Amino acid sequence: MTRGANRRPAGRALVLIAVVASALAVAVPPAAAAVSGTVRTAGDPLTVRRAASTSAAAIGTVANGTTVSIDCQTTGTPVSGTYGTTTLWDYVPSLGGYVSDAYMYTGSDGQVAPDCGVGTGSAQCSTGQCAGEARFRSSDAHFVVYDRVPDGKSGVAAYWTAGGAGPFYAWNSGGSGTSAEHAVPGLEPGDWIFYKVCVADRAADPDLRACSAGLTDYVA
Amino acid sequence: MGQVNRRVVLLGGAAAAAGALSPPSWAGTRTANAAPPIRDPFQLGVASGDPLPDSVVLWTRLAQAPLNPDGFGGMPDATYDVEWELADDETFGSVVRRGTVATSRAQGHSVHVEPAGLDPAREYFYRFRTQGHVSPVGRTRTAPAAGAAVNRLTYCFASCQHWEEGWYHAHRGIAADDPDLVLFLGDYIYEKPSGRGPELRVRGLAVPDETTTLALYRARHAQHKTDADLQRAHAAAPWLVVFDDHEVVNNWNATTSPATTARKAAAFQAFYENMPVRSTVKPSGASIRLYRRFGWGGLARFHLLDTRQFRSAQVGDCAGMRDPARTITGSAQERWLLDAFGSHPATWDFLGQQVFFAQRDNDGSSATCGYSDAWNGYEASRDRITRGWVERGVPNPVVLTGDVHRHWAADLRQDYFDHSDPIVGSELVTTSVTSTSAGASPPSPEWYANNPHIKYCQGERGYVRVTATPAQLRADFRVVSDALERDPAKVTIGTDVSFLLDAGTRGLRRA
């Protein structure tokens, strides 16, 4: 309820922006409708993960009681925490990744932020043990692809953009524990990109395995 | 910038210049939309179709994230108001109709507008807007008035465009031909990924699962609509679209196998949402009124058929294939077609439909039968339809066909085994836009000797362009030099052969 009251002025601002933009007949990028949440654990810090899975790489922690800005939410592996069991994960750009909504006070058990991605970056990992992980950086249209398991396979992001071609591939064939950057060519601010993260042998026509469901993000 | 670039693609420089300006008619309007803000949702382009003398369907579908596996195109579960405009000119200086329609997830955020009271035989331009995002501009036209004298009609027809098996150069060619109409005769999508080797696949499906649910059909259709060449062809002219089998599942029929009732319902709903068809085509569960008729003044009629929904299950034996109790059209559609044959309002009667109509006979023996999924497998239906147009004096019947991934030209007979039986019509079969034929080889001289009514076969990718006048029909069999090559600069689109048909006579002849 408190959260709702806090959001109302922001909502009005959005409508105003939309009207002005309409008058100019300019495309309106949706403003980042971030909501805030507060970490509530039994006292321990909460693990921040690169992707929305308990198998994803732990990339940091956030202290109990910290209030953060949640850009978007996505479903991942289930977690039981302070607020029950949920498959919802919260993307917190300031932390560089995802935290389980089971430990986040948002005022609601349901989804309070848009689906990821919203043009501020996102990440996914391959199914199972998250052997492949990839982050899409909206700010400069780059993938960072991680290989986390010595399974003899590469981590890869398979992606599609407007126009009808794809998939294109962002590979990491550097072996377990490495990361690789991949610039996505030809994109302009606002363009969409749909990607899945998989494991595969690097090849022109790879046999993609353990692919994530895929999501659409945008270039900032 | 994105908007301007897409207009350049669709309509050339003049439209691009217009896009850089404030659209005059929308400059002062305000909308207050309570739905969540979205990014540019016009990722699937625009289309028009089913033209009448006073109306034409305008289509778009909102999808800010067109490839999302849930089929919602990234659209929030909210109702969006979409404004539309129809104008005499591509800069929208002279708007003749405008309105607003609401759309939501129940219809996949698709928009079908049917403006009424338009002038016949007129070119129009249209576009959509929601939340400040403006769609690309499409060009369309209304049909000539019933009975009106029409000097010339140019249309293209195409079929079979497996996403993975090639680039849509054929659609680029269709758009460049500047036709009055485009017919699509089925297999717009395929329910499964290609089974071909990597050397015959140029791209991949984002959601490769077999389409068994509404979400999967929606996602599959949406990916097709992201193709720039397909968008270009849709924006260039009104389309008349029918489905064949792969919009549902391979070789489906009136029974619940291989397509269950639920699967048909899901496939029909996604088809409706993604095609510029009239509200009369809106499905009710597993029932859809796909067969319908369009006139083009005194020059032509198009009878669009549905040879899937009502057909008896396929059989493999000659006795079954010739059983008069079996049907490929169903009795109601057959009556609808035969009744129409009784009136002759136009020079040319085109039967736009899915599967090979003429007999194909591999061994010259009437004791053997083949091609059971085509009209060959429903001989009694073929006999009733053919006899129907002969007895009712249809002046110039021409069957238009897709399905078989090769160009064919054929004359039609009532008894194909009697090589002196009079020719009673002709059939033009378009090859595929992309779909390949596994192991197809050209017909042998012996095969042609068994099928003297068949004049031509070509196994390249392409489409057919037809130019009809009151005196003559010309069919240009268009071929794409290489559908596996993406670079348009390295691909040529040309006419392989042309056939002529003189009004009032029977039999195709080479131009």
Q: Which two tokens stand for residue B329?
A: 């059209």
Q: Is the dihedral of CA B8, B14, B20, B26 positive or negative?
A: negative
Query: Is there a contact between B474 and B500 (Cβ–Cβ < 8 Å)?
Result: yes
Residues A130 and A214 in one domain: yes
**Beta pairing, strands B153-158 & B181-184:** parallel
Instruction: State the nearest Cα–Cα gap between B35 and chain A, in angstroms.
Output: 10
CATH at residue B97: 2.60.40.380
Domain end: B110, B141, B172, which one?
A: B141
Q: Which stretches does DSSP call E strand in B239-389?
A: 239-241, 292-296, 300-304, 348-352
Residues B318 and B460 in one domain: yes
Q: Cβ separation of A190 and B29 shorter than 8 Å?
A: no
pLDDT of residue A101: 98
Residues A102 and A136 in one domain: no
End-to-end CA distance of chain A: 32
CB-nearest partner of A216 from B74, B201, B229: B74
Beta-carbon contacts of B275 under 8 Å, excluding residues fewer than 6 positions away, are B47, B49, B59, B188, B239, B241, B281
Q: Which amino acid is at A12?
A: R
* Residues in a beta bridge with B182: B156, B239
Q: Which residue of A has its CA nearest to B486?
A: A165
Q: Within a domain: residue A8?
A: no
Q: Which two tokens stand for residue A169?
A: 């591939």
Angle (CA) B502 B505 B509, round 5° = 55
Residues from chain B that touch A196, judged by Cβ atoms under 8 A, are 206
The SS3 call for residue B88 is coil
Q: Which residue of B has its CA nearest to A21?
A: B132
Residues from chain A that touch B33, judged by Cβ atoms under 8 A, are 18
User: Distance between CA B333 and CA B323 in Å, rounded?
Assistant: 18
Residues from chain A that touch B69, judged by Cβ atoms under 8 A, are 213-214
Query: Is there a contact between B500 and B508 (Cβ–Cβ < 8 Å)?
Result: yes
Residues B374 and B413 in one domain: yes
Query: Is there a contact between A68 and A45 (Cβ–Cβ < 8 Å)?
Result: no
Instruction: State the nearest Cα–Cα gap between A46 and chain B, in angstroms.
Output: 30
- How many domains is chain A partitioned into structurally? 2
Instruction: State the nearest Cα–Cα gap between B203 and chain A, in angstroms.
Output: 5
Q: Give residue B34's domain range.
A: 2-141
**Radius of gyration of chain B from its Cα atoms, rounded to whole angstroms:** 22
Residues from chain A that touch B204, judged by Cβ atoms under 8 A, are 158, 166-167
Domain end: A115, A138, A163, which one?
A: A115
Residues from chain A that touch B37, judged by Cβ atoms under 8 A, are 14, 18, 28, 30-31, 33
Domain end: A56, A90, A115, which one?
A: A115
pTM: 0.92
Tens digits of residue pLDDT in B344-386: 999 999 999 999 999 999 999 999 999 999 999 999 999 999 9
| B172 pLDDT more than 70 | yes
Q: Within a domain: residue B506?
A: yes
pLDDT of residue B440: 80
pLDDT averaged over every residue in chain B: 94
Residues A162 and A142 in one domain: yes
CB-nearest partner of A19 from B30, B39, B228: B30
Q: Which residue of A has its CA nearest to B9?
A: A163
Instruction: State the nearest Cα–Cα gap between B274 and chain A, in angstroms.
Output: 17
pLDDT of residue A1: 28
Residues A128 and A207 in one domain: yes
Q: Which two tokens stand for residue B323?
A: 């059983």
Q: Give residue A211's domain range.
A: 122-218
Beta-carbon contacts of B289 under 8 Å, excluding residues fewer than 6 positions away, are B280, B281
Q: Cβ separation of B1 and A188 shorter than 8 Å?
A: yes
Q: Which residue of B has its CA nearest to A114?
A: B76
Instruction: State the nearest Cα–Cα gap between A155 and chain B, in angstroms.
Output: 18
Q: Within a domain: residue B464?
A: yes
- How many domains is chain B partitioned into structurally? 2
Tens digits of residue pLDDT in B58-95: 999 999 999 999 999 999 999 999 999 999 999 999 99
Residues B72 and B218 in one domain: no
Residues B137 and B160 in one domain: no
Tens digits of residue pLDDT in B422-452: 999 999 999 999 999 877 889 999 999 999 9
Residues from chain A that touch B43, judged by Cβ atoms under 8 A, are 162, 192
Q: In what order do the strands lie in the sheet with A35-39?
A: A67-70, A35-39, A104-105
User: Distance between CA B278 and CA B267 in Å, rounded?
Assistant: 17
CB-nearest partner of A190 from B32, B40, B203: B40
Q: Which residue of B has its CA nearest to A167?
A: B204
End-to-end CA distance of chain B: 46
CATH at residue A42: 2.30.30.40
Query: How many of the other CB atoms lie within 10 Å of CB of A2?
Result: 7
Residues from chain B that touch A73, judged by Cβ atoms under 8 A, are none
CATH at residue B307: 3.60.21.70
B429: alpha, beta or left, given left = phi > 0 and alpha = psi -120 to 50? Answer: beta
Q: Cβ separation of B133 and A27 shorter than 8 Å?
A: yes
What values do phi and psi take at B272, rounded to 5?
-60, -45
pLDDT bracket for residue B14 (50, 70, 90): very low
Q: Cβ separation of B29 and A205 shorter than 8 Å?
A: no
User: What percent of chain B is predicted at pLDDT more than 70?
Assistant: 94
| B286 pLDDT more than 50 | yes
Q: Which two tokens stand for residue A42?
A: 């039994």
Beta-carbon contacts of B411 under 8 Å, excluding residues fewer than 6 positions away, are B358, B423, B425, B426, B427, B453, B454, B455, B506, B507, B508
Nearest to A146 by CA among A126, A132, A127: A132
Q: Within a domain: residue A25?
A: no
Which stretch of DSSP H or E encloses residue A20? helix A2-23
User: Distance between CA B178 and CA B426 in Å, rounded?
Assistant: 25
Residues A152 and A200 in one domain: yes
**Radius of gyration of chain A from its Cα atoms, rounded to whole angstroms:** 18
Q: Is the dihedral of CA B8, B13, B15, B21 positive or negative?
A: positive
Residues from chain B that touch A114, judged by Cβ atoms under 8 A, are 36, 76
Q: Cβ separation of A27 and B204 shorter than 8 Å?
A: no
Q: Cβ separation of A18 and B131 shorter than 8 Å?
A: yes
Q: Cβ separation of A29 and B39 shorter than 8 Å?
A: yes
Q: Which residue of B has its CA nearest to A203?
A: B198
CB-nearest partner of A164 from B65, B132, B227: B227
Q: Give the residue numbers in A contacting B (CB under 8 Å), as ranges.
A: 14-15, 18-19, 21-31, 33, 114-115, 119, 158, 160, 162-167, 188, 190-192, 194, 196, 204-205, 213-216, 218
Residues B297 and B212 in one domain: yes
Q: Which residue of B has its CA nearest to A194?
A: B67
Instruction: State the nearest Cα–Cα gap between B175 and chain A, in angstroms.
Output: 16
* Residues in a beta bridge with A37: A68
| B36 pLDDT more than 50 | yes
pLDDT of residue B4: 32
CB-nearest partner of B26 from A25, A119, A218: A25
Residues from chain A that touch B28, judged by Cβ atoms under 8 A, are 23
Give the burial string for B474-488 (b: 16+ CB within 10 Å, else e): ebbbbbbeebbeeee
Q: Within a domain: residue A50?
A: yes
Q: What pLDDT tens digit does each residue of chain A (220 aa) get?
A: 233 333 333 333 333 333 333 333 444 455 556 799 999 999 999 999 999 999 999 999 999 999 999 999 999 999 999 999 999 999 999 999 999 999 999 999 899 999 999 999 999 999 999 999 999 999 999 999 999 999 999 999 999 999 999 999 999 999 999 999 999 999 999 999 999 999 999 999 999 999 999 999 999 9
Q: Within a domain: residue A93?
A: yes
Residues A100 and A85 in one domain: yes
Q: What is the 3-state secondary structure (H, E, C) of A168-216?
A: EEEEECCCCCEEEEEECCCCCCCCEEEEEEEEECCCCCCCCECCCCCEE
Q: Cβ separation of A18 and B76 shorter than 8 Å?
A: no
Q: Which amino acid is at A69?
A: S
Q: Which residue of A has its CA nearest to B227?
A: A164
**In sequence order, what DSSP letters do the residues of B293-333 get, joined into one string?**
EEEETBTEEEEE--SSTTPPPP--SHHHHT-TT--SS-HHH
Q: Within a domain: residue A9?
A: no
